[in-house]
Amino acid sequence: MSTRPKIITVANQKGGVGKTTTAINLATALAAIGEKVLIIDIDPQGNASTGLGIDKEARKKSSYDVMVGEAGIQDAAMETAVPGLWIVPSTMDLLGVELEISHQPDRVLKLRHALRDISQPAPYTYVLIDCPPSLNLLTLNAMAAADSVLVPLQCEFFALEGLSQLLKTVEQIRSTINPRLSIQGIVLTMFDRRNNLAVQVVEDVRAFMGDTVYETVIPRNVRVSEAPSYGKPAILYDLKCPGSQAYLQLASEVIRRERRPKAA
């Protein structure tokens, strides 16, 4: 069995679609079933870091240091309150990283090289990368480093808008620097079943994207949106709430997909 972790990039260039919420809660759910999980926060906003209760002052080393080669992943990884879950936090420094590395020939490969240097056997079974809301150099680094891309789509009228651009970018990365990159899956988020439009969106996305779309749909749930202000994943904040239960179900689907023979 390979000791390499499975590296999943959580990406969508739209903001507010549930990337960070999905990264935090999927990671927590995977940790809860015994996986060893690392989140790498590469959004300068640092919402994943804050949502996991990592104080700004405590972020001694960050994904910025990793991107510019001043720290290894292991130097920057911090424990969280969730057993089995670590995070490489982000800081606002990341805002300047594109300019700093843009002239370097390996600018898209910074994260991949950093991840390659994780010791063997790897201390993690999963690495989840939480991306900024943009198809910028940070997101490209995440795609270049990953085995797969997990795309959260919000159940709203414009859900599919921008998806083709995202899929095109994945295809470009696959055909150039990362042939192993696949689509892990599309997860529909913030679903409100009382909203007819949301129901229609789910149908449309399934018709368009087939079984790339996870069966699990994440409901809109106020407990999920409250949790980050307590510095906790929803799954710790309120395990029984429908949002937490959905993320646990998503984790088991993600693991099941690992075992499924890959489609061509």
In order of 11, 98, 107, 174, 221, the CA distances from 113 in angstroms are: 20, 17, 10, 17, 38
Name the token pair of 13: 């260039």
Binder of ligand ADP out of 9, 13, 28, 47 (CB under 6 A): 47
Q: Which entry of Mg ion, ligand ADP, none binds 243, CB below 5 to 8 A by partner kind?
A: ligand ADP
Q: Which is nearer to ligand ADP, 12 or 118 (CB)?
A: 12
Taking contact as CB under 6 A, which single stretch among the options 9-17, 102-110, 156-164, 165-173 is the one that binds ligand ADP?
9-17
Q: Which entry of ligand ADP, Mg ion, none binds 16, CB below 5 to 8 A by partner kind?
A: ligand ADP
SS3 242: helix
Name the token pair of 207: 């018709």
Check residue 158 for interaction with ligand ADP (CB under 6 A): no
- Give the interface size with Mg ion as a residue count (CB under 5 A): 3
Half-sphere exposure of 111 (CA within 13 A, CB side): 33
CA 115, chain centre distance (Å): 15
Check residue 133 for interaction with ligand ADP (CB under 6 A): yes
Nearby residues of 241 by Cβ (< 8 Å), 6 or more positions away: 221, 223, 224, 234
Whole-number Å distance between alpha carbons of 258 and 240: 26
- Give the interface size with ligand ADP as a residue count (CB under 6 A): 18
Q: Which entry of ligand ADP, Mg ion, none binds 221, CB below 5 to 8 A by partner kind?
A: ligand ADP
Q: How far is the CB of 189 from ligand ADP (least distance, A)?
A: 5
Q: Which entry of ligand ADP, Mg ion, none binds 17, CB below 5 to 8 A by partner kind?
A: ligand ADP
Binder of Mg ion out of 9, 20, 25, 62 (CB under 5 A): 20
Whole-number Å distance between alpha carbons of 262 and 28: 25
Q: How far is the CB of 243 from ligand ADP (least distance, A)?
A: 5
Question: In the chain, what's the furthest Cα-to-Cα distance?
Answer: 51
Whole-number Å distance between alpha carbons of 11 and 49: 17
Check residue 59 for interaction with Mg ion (CB under 5 A): no
| Chain residues that interact with ligand ADP, rule: CB under 6 A | 15-21, 47, 133, 189-190, 218, 220-221, 224-225, 228, 243
| Chain residues that interact with Mg ion, rule: CB under 5 A | 19-20, 47
